[in-house]
Structure 1
Amino acid sequence: MTLYQVAKNLVWYALKPLYRMEVIGVENIPKDGPVIICSNHISNFDPPVVGGSAPRVVHFLAKEELFKGKFGKFLFSKLNAVPIKRGMKDRQALRQALNILKEGKVLGLFPEGTRSKTGELGEGLSGIGFFALRSEATVVPCVIVGPYKVGRRLKIVYGEPVKMDKLREEKASAKETTEQIMQEISKLQKKHA
């Protein structure tokens, strides 16, 4: 058993009863092939919650600061995280993320790029559209409906895949594609609020 699997089980079984988690729509995540899971971002717990509830191993882009020091570098690398420099184009991280998708794996992204303090959905970054257009990945919207409060119900909802064929055929921009993905996340959020 890998460190990722051990951590996934430990975190999931600790958090699930604590926050009375309900997971909806995991059948919308394809069993194989490249997948991008795009979720809203309301807490530092979001990556382990998405990673723990998804039926496949999820690779996340994570801020470079988490990889500082030997322990951080070892831990987050073993947890399948890819370091990315915030606020600038990080070509190496982009290449790594695209390679994850080329290998038929799952990439987890938080399109807003940072946590929402209010729970309201913010604007998505164009990089999400870039990954969706530059790969053959199935894009699965996800919403976490909180709050993270002990004893309160927390929902993790995976929606139906975003229809990417038309966007790819029409050579939509990364920004337009991101907007479409964000609309799907917003619909899920309104439906399950």
Structure 2
Amino acid sequence: MYSFVIQVLKGLFRIFSGKIFVSGKEKVPVSEPFVLVCNHVSWLDVVCLGLALYPTQIHYMAKKELFGQKLVGKLLTNLNAFPVDREKPGPSVLKTPLQLLKKDRVVGIFPSGTRSAENASLKDGAVFIASRANVPIVPAVYIGPHDMKGVLKRQKKQIIFGEPFYVPKTAKSKDDTIQKSTDQLLYVLNDLEKKHA
């Protein structure tokens, strides 16, 4: 279903919104799993990122509230999303992404674009998952409209991929290694956005 939806979205974007400009895709690993971390401003960054990275499929980490309705939950599951309890994160938060990465899949994590406490926590999680799985983090940013009005006005949409980097291996979610790598990730995301805004 993932491929079918991507093809439909490609056609709709081509007709109503114009192309998505993609930079740095040559930096993205093609033969190994990785954790993809992107800023999150609206549903459009999720869609555009999926289109930009295809045929590589992304397994999206999504808040469990989105799976509350049976039909919506089934659709999200068919589109490779998996639920995470952000209010009470525990060991189970690591289980699904680590299993996916072990199967050579790509895990996408979309923290908000602000420097809120939740944002920092989610980025810590992305870094820790990459460390535990011994896979690179690929930073990415979306720059473009935030709503359907901007899409229909054919405002420019960009996905920019940064250089992948590895996080030193650690078994502790709270230590200097994770903090330094989280700071590095925040710096890279902010820098990518500033350079292409």
Output the TM-score relative to the length of structure 2.
0.83
Q: 1:124 aligned to 120, 123, 130, which one? A: 120
How do residues 124-143 of structure 1 correspond to structure 2 at under 5 angstroms?
124-125=120-121, 126-143=124-141
How do residues 1-193 of structure 1 correspond to structure 2 at under 5 angstroms?
3-15=1-13, 18=17, 20-55=19-54, 56-110=56-110, 112=111, 114=112, 116=113, 123-125=119-121, 126-148=124-146, 149=150, 150-162=153-165, 164=166, 167-168=168-169, 172-193=176-197
- The RMSD of aligned alpha carbons is 2.1
The answer as to whether partners of 1:141 and 1:158 remain within 8 angstroms in 2 is: yes
Q: How many residues align?
A: 182
Q: Give the aligned residue type for 1:87.
A: E
Q: Give the aligned residue type for 1:158.
A: F
Point out where structure 1 has 5 or more consecutive residues left out of the alignment. none
Q: Distance in 2 between matches of 1:12 and 1:173?
A: 40
The answer as to whether partners of 1:127 and 1:174 remain within 8 angstroms in 2 is: no
Task: Report the Cα offset of residue 128 of structure 1.
Answer: 1.5
Deviations 1:35-60 (A, max 9, x none): 11111111122212111110301000
State the identity %.
Answer: 28
Q: Distance in 2 between matches of 1:13 and 1:109?
A: 26
The answer as to whether partners of 2:134 and 2:169 remain within 8 angstroms in 1 is: no
The answer as to whether partners of 1:146 and 1:154 remain within 8 angstroms in 2 is: yes
Q: Give the aligned residue type for 2:37.
A: C
Bigger helix share? 2
Output the TM-score relative to the length of structure 1.
0.84
The answer as to whether partners of 1:40 and 1:143 remain within 8 angstroms in 2 is: yes
